[in-house]
Amino acid sequence: MVIPESCPACGSTRYKKNGHTRHGKQHHLCKNCERQFSAGADNLLMAAERRTEIAKLLRERLSLRGICRAVGVSLTRLLHFMVACFATCPDH
């Protein structure tokens, strides 16, 4: 998990711990703008190598759960990746 360096809304470094999300992630509360936020998604980004590997496995027509097991990503993350890939395809 990545500890936030500043508030995503105002950029202030003055924040305090403010409980946990329902998934167990730490919540923080900004002392300036009173926005509540949790750790960033920097650790959720997929490497380019993993993206190309997933694209190759999708072309091989493997099952989605099989790809998840082979690559080590969750089914939700794989589906979001597929939606992003399909959005870049031309309409025809």
Summarised one tens digit per residue, pLDDT across range 31-67 is 999 999 887 655 556 788 999 999 999 999 999 999 9
* For residue 2, pLDDT beyond 70: no
Cβ distance 12 to 30 under 8 Å? yes
Q: Report the percent of the chain where pLDDT is more than 70.
A: 91
**What ranges in the chain are assigned the alpha helix state H?**
48-59, 64-71, 75-88
The pLDDT assigned to 86 comes to: 87
Tell how many helices (H) and how many strands (E) occur in the chain: 3, 3
Higher-pLDDT residue of 41, 12 = 12
Torsion angle defined by CA atoms of residues 43, 37, 6 and 84, in that order, rounded to the nearest 10 degrees: 40
Q: What is the pLDDT of residue 8?
A: 85
